[in-house]
Amino acid sequence: MRDVVILGVGMTRFGKFLERSLQDLGREATWAAIEDANIAPRDIPIAYVANSLAYQLTELKGIIGEHVLGASGFFGIPIINVENACSSGSTALRGACLEVASGNYDIALALGVEKLFCADTAKSAAAMSSGTMYAKYGFMFPALYSMSLKHWMEKYHITREHFAKVTMKNSKNGSLNPRAQFRKPLSMEEILNARVIAGPLTLYMCSTMGDGAAAAIVCSRQKACQYTSRPLIHVAACELVSGTVFYPDKHHEPIGTHASRLAYQKSGIGPEDINLAEVHDGMAPAELIIYEEMGFCKEGESARWIDEGVTQITGKLPVNPSGGLTAKGHPVAATGLAQVAEVVWQLRGEAGERQIKNPKVGLTENAGGWILDDNAACAVTILKK
């Protein structure tokens, strides 16, 4: 298999854009990635397009990628539409990387695009909860998260203040990110005193609806030199697994642990080598769990990590410098590729006010699916300068 590099990335700002279509969002991210990659659109011979909820929320009921890329002027190329709930974006990246690694193509586009806001907010909310079979019983995502946390919180003396610290860090990071949906740095008091969604989770600890798109153009290492003289960003691993998000009973290996183990094996890179990570903080507590699943810290140590500021932009291992899902926003299928875009910008030193000092290796963790069920997916990607 050949070495694969990220040649260009692009994304829209995430937010509420009632007047913008899926095609419009997709076009902006795709063309930003094309410009960033310094290629021509005709250089793209294949595309993987990720979308999760357009079927429920827009008039597009199928072959989303053909519609979105068709509106961007693409014609005739193979388009593979992929879906894996919140990990759809990384699933598209994985496919694009395989096309290039295998030698099938020299260049491939991965696009994640999602439009969650529509005029009828109740319809959007229902679609957002349709990912769980338990929604019909009133258990929406925050409730499911909440239920899964109790035992873990007791065992390791984790409090809601720890979750608030995650949100505080991410809201501060988001305030430095011009593409973030929410740009207000939040205080401990604001977070803890906000409306309770499902105890112990308050409003600001939960990611919410967003519209947006993100794209990455991958290329063989050899071919990349034709287009750029910038340092190349190598895709050292992009590993996808299925399973269950949380295993409170630990009968099985958690899905994040499984995917990161494979990614570390594949890349020969260990958790101690990671300089920054973008992870799937669908709810603030998830970020702490992910510290442990990625092997950044030992089981039970994540609370101490957030207390000590290890994962702040200035810390030893910054996590979610973009603001993460809770501040940057979470347009479902765009998220995985937005994580990749952030890591690429950080590795290139192009992250502006939120730039981390000289990172060499970054990781993204992108999980999706039905909590407390055996039907979820997780992808871990390792990018290396």
Which residues in this chain contact a copy of itself in the complex, by CB under 8 A?
A: 1, 52-53, 55-56, 59, 61-67, 69-70, 74-85, 91, 94-95, 98-99, 101-104, 127, 130-131, 133, 136, 239-243, 252, 258, 368-370, 374-377
Identity of the residue, 84 or 364, whose beta carbon is nearer to a copy of itself in the bound complex: 84
Number of neighbours of residue 15 by Cβ within 10 angstroms: 18
Q: What is the DSSP string of 17-43?
A: -TT--HHHHHHHHHHHHHHHHT--GGG
The C-alpha torsion from 128 through 130 and 132 to 133, rounded to 10°, is 160
Apex CA 85: angle with CA 82 and CA 90, to 5°?
60
Contact partners, residue 229, CB within 8 Å, separation at least 6: none
Identity of the residue, 190 or 373, whose beta carbon is nearer to a copy of itself in the bound complex: 373
Identity of the residue, 36 or 239, whose beta carbon is nearer to a copy of itself in the bound complex: 239
Identity of the residue, 79 or 213, whose beta carbon is nearer to a copy of itself in the bound complex: 79
Min. distance of Cβ 47 from a copy of itself in angstroms?
A: 9
Contact partners, residue 250, CB within 8 Å, separation at least 6: none
Min. distance of Cβ 385 from a copy of itself in angstroms?
A: 25
- Tokens coding 228: 């750029």
Identity of the residue, 82 or 340, whose beta carbon is nearer to a copy of itself in the bound complex: 82
Min. distance of Cβ 147 from a copy of itself in angstroms?
A: 20
Identity of the residue, 88 or 322, whose beta carbon is nearer to a copy of itself in the bound complex: 88
Number of neighbours of residue 7 by Cβ within 10 angstroms: 29
CA 37: distance to chain centroid?
21
Min. distance of Cβ 133 from a copy of itself in angstroms?
A: 7
Place of tokens 């690429």: 344
Q: Which of 67, 162, 258, 330 is catalytic?
A: 330
Identity of the residue, 128 or 232, whose beta carbon is nearer to a copy of itself in the bound complex: 128
Gap between the Cα atoms of 321 and 274, Å rounded: 14
Min. distance of Cβ 116 from a copy of itself in angstroms?
A: 13
- Tokens coding 367: 């999980």
- H or E, element range at 255: helix 255-267
Min. distance of Cβ 190 from a copy of itself in angstroms?
A: 33
Contact partners, residue 194, CB within 8 Å, separation at least 6: 202, 203, 204
Min. distance of Cβ 311 from a copy of itself in angstroms?
A: 28
86 is catalytic: yes
- Tokens coding 128: 């957002």
Gap between the Cα atoms of 153 and 130, Å rounded: 27
The C-alpha torsion from 68 through 2 and 358 to 12, rounded to 10°, is 0
Q: Which of 86, 206, 238, 297 is catalytic?
A: 86
CA 267: distance to chain centroid?
20
Place of tokens 């979308």: 51
Point out the residues that are catalytic: 86, 330
